[in-house]
Amino acid sequence: MKKTLLFALCSLALALGASAQMPALERIEPMSWWVGMSNPNLQLIVHGNNIAGRNVVLNYPGVKLKAVHKVENSNYLFLDLQLFSSVVPGTFPIKFTKAGQKDLVYQYTLNKRDKSAGRIQGVTNKDLIYLIMPDRFSNGDESNDSFDNMREKGVHRDSMYSRHGGDIQGVMNHLDYLKALGVTAIWMTPEIENDEPHASYHGYAVTDYYKIDPRYGTNELYKKFVEKCHSMGLKVIKDLVHNHAGTEGYTILDMPMKSWVHQWPKYTKSNFRDAAVMDPHASPMDRKLMADGWFDHRMADMNQNNIYVQNYLTQNHIWWVEYAGIDGFRLDTYPYNDPAYMAKWAQDVKAEFPKLSIFGETLVWSAANQAFFTQGNTVNRGMDTHLPGVTDGVLKDAIYEAINGNDGWTDGVGRLYSVIAQDFLYQDATRNTIFMDNHDMSRLLSMVKEDFTKYKSAMAMLLTMRGVPQLYYGDEILMKNYSDPDGLVREDFAGGWKGDKENKFTADGRSKKENEAFNYVSKLAKYRKGTTALQTGKMMQFVPEKGIYVYFRYDAAKTVMIIFNSSDKDQSTTTDRYFERIGDAKKARNVITDEPVDLAQVNIPGKTALVLEILPGGTH
């Protein structure tokens, strides 16, 4: 189907209205809520065949029906409820009446909030995040691989764009593996329903905001997953997509109003130029294309200036936190969203869950561009985004330049030094999520041309640098490939499926080199987990000299020195220059080998990063 025709069909859905098969009362969302929320207001979206032709009756102590909104599409009503402080948990009927016809009744439940310890903990720079694409990690329940009533059927592991059958149970089956690696937080790409006809395994084309995709499991299983993670000392991050929705969702196929999504005369893509958002000289049309253009022909661009859209998205996200007790949100395609709404969204969510962590995806090209989206940068924006941190792609690129590039004033390690020096742009750069790769980009091992020494150096810097480190599934066992096409970096984790010839979840199933990589990452991750200096400690870096870059992480308990030799040749360096952090210490311990190191002169092999713990006897 041509893109323009598909876009026209999406727009036409509003005019056509419901099909004859739509129930008179198809659904109400949120389908339940909680008493004692910070915001006493709740807006219910009601969908059903000509539901606007009925009156609404609600009678429950402590609940007031403030308003009933009829919109362009008669298949919708929006109900404004106020929940007073006196309201108690319980179930009550919401009736939809019409003379001469049988009442339609929905039993609405207000639950008691779960205040159990260990829920909604927040993810901080004390954590190590592990990113998983659930469809590609492990198939723990073959009974949910395919459903006849869904648009994409079957499991086809030989196709990079088809469903492979991985699911939430598969992740749950391997939590011990993640604990052994040293992971403390799990981020899965979106688990909610993506009922699109093709290539929806990634999760970013949602068709039902309140439902875990059946091929991954159920809402109840997801809640159990979070509870199991918490019981094992693991946190959970949920991936959110504010910007767009799958075109097969009910609010897109049968839109409440034409302004539910951004409409164009014909299919119009975003220009993907984040600079247009911040450019004081920008063309208004360029800015509009960036924010309002569609991300893909199967991803309808949500109109976040629409108050009904705002309420729908915000309440859904609050619902998932309270329902499952998750610890943080990762916000997909952050720069493409309406900034005023996103700022309000962050405030509304944090008002309910003060400990919840939030970071936004900002795959941009400079530290200034990244910092523009973070909280506290109000001078040039005239507003505060209330976004604590971002995905630090600029630091990632700088680490690759340090490892692969040639030494220069602003090249090689000079680039990395300069990027870290720009941390003044952020209110707090330690809230940024730092990473070497993810599901949208070439894997670490391929980016360093499968050079194992460079691989280890990148991992050393990732796990000792400021910020919240994030690994991508399989990097620890040397999974590789480039992102063109992107399916190549989304291969299955060997051993996650019955009948796999190899099982990389076990040491016996890994090669000698894969075990060396796993053990290297695990040792550093566990050392970081027990070393506050690498979590919340301060950082001091020194101007690179002769291709050698040195930085320290330190606090009252420990001082850790990281030395990276960007040259291909082995080098040695005296440490007199670093007296501000070393003091009169004479010895250090190599964190990986546990061997003693004489600080008078340190030998560093080419392209190697050493992680040294300064032994007592100096300034810390």
DSSP letter at 615 equals P
Residue 174 dihedral angles phi and psi, to the nearest 5°:
-120, 25
Of the candidates 526, 535, 537, the residue with the CA atom closest to the CA atom of residue 591: 526
Domain containing 77 — which CATH number? 2.60.40.10
* pLDDT at residue 461, rounded to an integer: 98
CA 404 – CA 68 distance, rounded (Å):
61
What domain count does the chain have? 3
Structure tokens at 343: 């700022």
State whether 512 and 556 are in the same domain.
no
Asked whether residue 419 is assigned to any structural domain, the reply reads yes
CA 497 – CA 478 distance, rounded (Å):
19
CA 312 – CA 245 distance, rounded (Å):
12
* pLDDT at residue 20, rounded to an integer: 54
State whether 561 and 579 are in the same domain.
yes
Structure tokens at 241: 């997509």
State whether 442 and 371 are in the same domain.
yes
CA 369 – CA 277 distance, rounded (Å):
10
State whether 516 and 547 are in the same domain.
no
Asked whether residue 619 is assigned to any structural domain, the reply reads no
State whether 584 and 458 are in the same domain.
no
Across the chain, which has 620 residues, the per-10-residue mean pLDDT values are 42 46 96 98 98 98 98 98 98 97 98 96 98 98 97 96 97 98 98 96 97 98 98 98 98 98 97 95 97 96 98 98 98 97 98 98 95 90 94 98 92 97 97 98 98 98 98 98 94 97 98 98 98 98 97 98 97 94 96 97 97 78
* pLDDT at residue 617, rounded to an integer: 72
Count of positions (residues) in the chain: 620
Place of tokens 């609940």: 63
Tell me how crowded residue 143 is: count the other CB atoms within 10 A of its CB: 7
Q: How far apart are the first and last CA of the chain?
A: 65
Active-site residue, 176 included: no
448 and 402 Cβ atoms separated by less than 8 Å: no
Asked whether residue 534 is assigned to any structural domain, the reply reads no
* pLDDT at residue 298, rounded to an integer: 94
Q: Which residues, other chains included, contact 242 with Cβ-Cβ below 8 Å and sequence gap of 6+?
A: 302, 304, 313, 331, 332, 333, 337, 342, 345
State whether 598 and 510 are in the same domain.
no
Q: Specify the pTM.
A: 0.96
Domain containing 552 — which CATH number? 2.60.40.1180
Q: Among 239, 292, 322, 361, which one carries the catalytic annotation?
A: 361
Q: Using one digit for the tens of pLDDT, what is the confidence trace for 160-180?
A: 999 999 999 999 999 999 999
* pLDDT at residue 6, rounded to an integer: 44
Asked whether residue 123 is assigned to any structural domain, the reply reads no
Domain containing 274 — which CATH number? 3.20.20.80
Concatenating the DSSP letter of every residue in 371-425 gives: HHTSTT--TTTSS-----EEB-HHHHHHHHHHHHS---SSSTHHHHHHHHHGGGG
Of the candidates 185, 226, 179, 227, the residue with the CA atom closest to the CA atom of residue 535: 185
State whether 76 and 12 are in the same domain.
yes
State whether 275 and 417 are in the same domain.
yes
Residue 522 dihedral angles phi and psi, to the nearest 5°:
-60, -40
State whether 138 and 46 are in the same domain.
no
Tell me how crowded residue 27 is: count the other CB atoms within 10 A of its CB: 14
Asked whether residue 450 is assigned to any structural domain, the reply reads yes
Asked whether residue 359 is assigned to any structural domain, the reply reads yes
Element (H, E) at 130: strand 129-132
| Parent domain of 560 | 539-614
The angle that helices 452-462 and 512-529 make with each other, rounded to 10 degrees, is: 20
Active-site residue, 595 included: no
Q: Select from 479, 509, 529 the last residue of a domain.
A: 529
Residue 37's alpha-carbon distances to 84, 285, 371, in angstroms, are 10, 40, 32
* pLDDT at residue 194, rounded to an integer: 98
Q: Select from 484, 511, 529 the last residue of a domain.
A: 529
Of the candidates 523, 514, 534, the residue with the CA atom closest to the CA atom of residue 614: 534
State whether 68 and 213 are in the same domain.
no
* pLDDT at residue 18, rounded to an integer: 44
* pLDDT at residue 408, rounded to an integer: 85
Q: Select from 477, 499, 529 the last residue of a domain.
A: 529
* pLDDT at residue 382, rounded to an integer: 87
State whether 431 and 563 are in the same domain.
no
CA 89 – CA 209 distance, rounded (Å):
24
Determine the 3-state secondary structure of 240 from DSSP: strand
H helices of 70-199, in order, are 168-172, 175-181
Asked whether residue 30 is assigned to any structural domain, the reply reads yes
CA 521 – CA 513 distance, rounded (Å):
12
Of the candidates 132, 33, 45, 8, the residue with the CA atom closest to the CA atom of residue 91: 33
Asked whether residue 121 is assigned to any structural domain, the reply reads no
State whether 406 and 492 are in the same domain.
yes
CA 168 – CA 135 distance, rounded (Å):
9
Q: Among 167, 195, 332, 475, which one carries the catalytic annotation?
A: 332
